[in-house]
Structure 1
Amino acid sequence: MPALPALLAGALLTTLALGAQANEAAIRKTLAERIPQLSKIDEVRATPMDGLFEVRIGTDLFYTDARGNYLIQGELIDTKARRNLTEDRINKLTAVKFDELPFKDAVTIVRGDGSRKLAVFEDPNCGYCKRFERDMQNVNNVTVHLFLYPILSPDSVEKSRNIWCAKSPEAAWHDLMLREKTPASASCDTAALQRNLALGKKHKITGTPTLIFTDGSRVPGAIGAQEVEKRLAETASAR
């Protein structure tokens, strides 16, 4: 016959599980009835804060009480650990499997031995991208997979096409970003650019540059060469 402590522990776990299921059911029912836009919830889960639950729709996060009577849209901060729990969760949800990126749709730029790897989504009219590219001239031994991502203006589409279709896309890209030399008009199959836009939308890439490292982590926005070096070293040691 099982010992009493073991029976009590098992009963407690069962009770907690049933309680969590009841909370999830109540949250889903209440929110669907009161806010039709929240009728298709992907996940409900407890947060580290007592009585607060995370409601996830895609990669959008909301917070609610155990009955769904109140809804919060914002960030949950762990003040003791000094961590943004909402940001951590979104980073995990939007992590990209680096090795599954469609590199055939990217301009591949190799510096030095190319041993370290990085993917970046950039718009040719992005001023921050130009600053990032200048800083990247100080980073060696790296392979950069550049996904042209024309989202800023119609002219971005034209410039991306001319770069993608150039005899040397890498040279055309650097001429524009480092020397302000507009790429010559060119034409070819640009289906890759449309696939890049779809890929970015899928992974909620809303700004440029957006960097993706081999561990799937991303950095939205331009960072300097020193920070790039740090992250390349961290991701290399993690693999």
Structure 2
Amino acid sequence: MKRELISALVGLSMATAASADDAAIRQAVTKLVPGAKIESIKPSAVADFSEVNVGGRFVYVSHDGTHLFQGPLLDLSRQVNLTEQSQVALRKDLLATVPAKQAIRFEGQNAKHHVTVFTDIDCGYCRKLHQHVAEFNAAGITVDYLFFPRGGLQSPSYDKAVSVWCAADQQQALSLAKAGQSISNKMCANPIRDDFELGLKLGVGDFGTPAVFADDGRQLGGYLNAADLVKRLNEPAAARTAR
């Protein structure tokens, strides 16, 4: 009985300490960035520091809230980018929330792989990448397009994305628009805002477009030909997070 009581008190004191640490961390972050959305606070590999997810970006804050650093946290003994590991896990979870009906899909033949591509219709390299979609499909890669109009939700690229989405044949409309051809202006209920907000959480604003993601959360690159995309899809996740 005495041993159980001691264990319970130790557990309570640890929980109280963690709660106090979290409060100090939250106060430090919101003081630095008012209105910051703190998604999670977790232990880090650095003693007395926690890993804090702030709107999809990871920073490291001391438990007393007096020190903060941002950037890749590297495990030199294992040659692993720990920050990228956390980013990959977050991206994987976010991508898993996207319903198939939210994307414009180009189905792979005997598909072995699936990628999500954030695109801007007026982006030159997005158009260049789209020229390889048939090759991707032939290589067994299914491509799901989501929209990320770089000029924002009031831009001409946003209007074009809406028109593509609302077209009777979305694939054809997207291909025509990416070829620089005009398509009929249309308006309907659409997921473009959801695409854009998801892209921000995934870091597309930093990567630029096109941004290609694997289902396991890896960001595979921007413009890629079929051979390069297959190579990166087949590359072990550990090799990517070591960079």
Given the superposition, is the C-alpha separation of residues 56 and 155 from structure 1 closer, same or farther in structure 2, using an over 3 Å criterion? closer
Q: Which position in structure 2 is the counterpart of 1:88? A: 85
What secondary structure sits across from 2:71 in the alignment? Answer: coil
Q: 2:171, 2:25 → 1: CA distance? A: 54
Q: Which deviates more from structure 2 when the two are superposed, residues 166-175 or residues 29-38?
A: 29-38
Give the AA of the match of 1:149: F
Given the superposition, is the C-alpha separation of residues 148 and 71 from structure 1 closer, same or farther in structure 2, using an over 3 Å criterion? closer
Q: Which position in structure 2 is the counterpart of 1:59? A: 56
Q: 5+ residue gaps in structure 2? A: 237-243
Matches within 5 A, 1:82-231: 82-96=79-93, 98=95, 100-114=97-111, 116-139=113-136, 140=138, 141-152=140-151, 154-177=155-178, 180-201=179-200, 203-206=202-205, 207-219=208-220, 221-231=222-232
Given the superposition, is the C-alpha separation of residues 199 and 126 from structure 1 closer, same or farther in structure 2, using an over 3 Å criterion? same
Tell me the CA shift for residue 35 of structure 1: 5.2
C-alpha contact (below 8 Å) 1:172/1:183 kept by paired residues: no
C-alpha contact (below 8 Å) 2:50/2:63 kept by paired residues: yes
Give the AA of the match of 1:93: L
Larger-gyration structure (1/2)? 1
What secondary structure sits across from 2:150 in the alignment? Answer: coil
How large is the Cα RMSD of the aligned pairs?
3.8
Q: How many residues align?
A: 227
Q: Which position in structure 1 is the counterpart of 2:17? A: 22
Identity %: 24
Q: 1:99, 1:40 → 2: CA distance? A: 21
C-alpha contact (below 8 Å) 2:135/2:226 kept by paired residues: yes
Tell me the CA shift for residue 46 of structure 1: 2.9
Q: 5+ residue gaps in structure 1? A: 1-6
1:32 is the counterpart of 2:27: yes
Tell me the CA shift for residue 99 of structure 1: 5.4
Q: 2:41, 2:67 → 1: CA distance? A: 14
Given the superposition, is the C-alpha separation of residues 57 and 166 from structure 1 closer, same or farther in structure 2, using an over 3 Å criterion? closer
Higher normalized contact order (CA 8 Å, seq sep 6+, divided by chain length): 2
What secondary structure sits across from 2:212 in the alignment? Answer: strand
Q: 2:189, 2:126 → 1: CA distance? A: 21
1:7-27 Cα shifts (integer Å, max 9, x gaps): 8xxx89x86994585265145
1:70 is the counterpart of 2:67: yes
What secondary structure sits across from 1:143 in the alignment? Answer: strand
Q: 2:124, 2:88 → 1: CA distance? A: 25
Q: 2:29, 2:144 → 1: CA distance? A: 46
Tell me the CA shift for residue 157 of structure 1: 1.9
TM superposition score normalised by structure 1 = 0.72
Q: Which position in structure 1 is the counterpart of 2:241? A: none
Tell me the CA shift for residue 203 of structure 1: 4.7
What secondary structure sits across from 1:75 in the alignment? Answer: coil
Q: 2:21, 2:105 → 1: CA distance? A: 50
1:133-161 Cα shifts (integer Å, max 9, x gaps): 23444321333222233233622123223
What secondary structure sits across from 1:187 in the alignment? Answer: coil
Give the AA of the match of 1:187: K
TM superposition score normalised by structure 2 = 0.71
C-alpha contact (below 8 Å) 1:44/1:55 kept by paired residues: yes
